[in-house]
Amino acid sequence: MTPTLIWILVALVAIGLYLSWTAGRLDRLHARIDATRAGLDAQLLRRASVAQELATSGVLDPAASIVLYEAAHAARQAEEEHREVAESDLSQALRAVFAEPAQVEAVREAPGGEAAAHELTEAVRRVPMARRFHNDAVGAARRLRQHRKVRWFRLAGHAPFPMAFEMDDEPPADLVDRAA
């Protein structure tokens, strides 16, 4: 073997190892996206469940109960392509129901209301964090997938292009301020 052929083989092995490492990194990012999406789904389900439980507890006035129950039910039953809108509607319903400090106080003063308000506060605080973790993982995967080497060598395989979860996740200010 000639020295030139040896150097060509070494270069090809190095390139192959680099591409393999990049494909593994991309695979780990896709696994991280799946894990963060599961966490986000769990937090969204918890928020909708707590809101539904609070709406049916009799602690809220009837109009607020109906608004909150319908929004929470819609969020729990939404198809994947309509989920972002349904979750945003639930956020808006929560802000509308708890827009006044008097409503928050009425909930807290009712029997079992303090625990329900605390649980709802924790649920609405965790959703933005879970969404941020998911969207950060999606951003990292997207940045890596935009590199030429990933596109040219098709290192992403048949994995779908990762999509961020965009929704209105601002919590009701009076509910969160009272807990802090």
Confidence category of residue 14, pLDDT binned at 50, 70, 90: very high
Confidence category of residue 179, pLDDT binned at 50, 70, 90: low
Report pTM: 0.90
* Torsional class of 115: left (φ above 0), alpha (ψ -120 to 50), beta (otherwise): alpha
Count Cβ neighbours within 10 Å for each residue of 90-109 and write b for 16 or more, e otherwise. bbebbbebbeeeebbeebbe
163 Cβ contact list (under 8 Å, min separation 6): 138
- What share of the chain has pLDDT > 90, as a percent? 81
pLDDT digits (tens, 9 = 90+) for 141-165: 999 999 999 999 999 989 999 999 9
Give yes or no for residue 177 having a pLDDT over 80: no
**CA pair distance 125, 110, nearest whole angstrom:** 22
* Mean pLDDT score, 165-177: 88
Confidence category of residue 180, pLDDT binned at 50, 70, 90: low
Instruction: Give the number of other CB atoms < 10 A from CB of residue 61.
Output: 11
* Mean pLDDT score, 19-26: 95
pLDDT at 112: 84
Token pair 């990194």: residue: 25
47 Cβ contact list (under 8 Å, min separation 6): 75, 90, 120, 123, 124, 126, 127
pLDDT at 44: 98
Confidence category of residue 173, pLDDT binned at 50, 70, 90: confident
Give 145 or 113, the one with higher predicted confidence. Answer: 145
Give yes or no for residue 29 having a pLDDT over 80: yes
DSSP alpha helix (H) spans, 57-156: 62-77, 83-97, 101-109, 113-145, 148-152
**CA pair distance 149, 22, nearest whole angstrom:** 9
pLDDT at 175: 78
Phi, psi of 104 (to 5 degrees): -65, -45
Contact 133, 39 (CB under 8 A): yes
